[in-house]
Amino acid sequence: VQLVESGGGSVQAGASLKLTCAASGFVFSKCGMAWFRQVTGKERELVSSIRDDGTTTYADSVKGRFTIAQDKSKNILYLQMNSLKVEDTAVYYCAATTIERYLTLRECPPDYSDWGQGTQVTVSS
């Protein structure tokens, strides 16, 4: 599976960005997909996830500001980020699980199995 993120950039606080993750290969849709972010020196944080049935989750810090969406026909994952804050600055990664990994584990791994290269989001005050 190849996951390629795009849409990051440098913006001022209050602005919006839309991240896109294009997935190619055998993504196991039943495990869903997700966006994580990481600041250098800190642990990776789950930002948002979407399940195969469309159920979504959000970190408390982004609820009401970020929206995750998926175009299954095109195998694309989105993250609409509004009202950006300085503390949203991070490298954002999309994640998915391959069919092979699912068949090995016989369950969906909580941290998924494959990750993109990340896209930098920088928010200044």
Residue for token digits 């970190």? 59
Residue 115 corresponds to which tokens in the numbers above? 């990750």
pLDDT at 74: 85
Q: How far apart are CA 86 and CA 43, in angstroms?
A: 18
Beta strands in 1-125 (DSSP E): 2-6, 9-12, 17-24, 33-38, 45-50, 56-58, 66-71, 76-81, 90-96, 114-115, 119-124
pLDDT at 1: 79
* Confidence at residue 64, expressed as pLDDT on a 0 to 100 scale: 97
pLDDT tens per residue across all 125 residues of the chain: 799 999 999 999 999 999 999 998 888 888 999 999 999 999 999 999 999 999 999 999 999 999 999 998 888 999 999 999 999 999 999 999 988 898 999 999 988 999 999 999 999 99
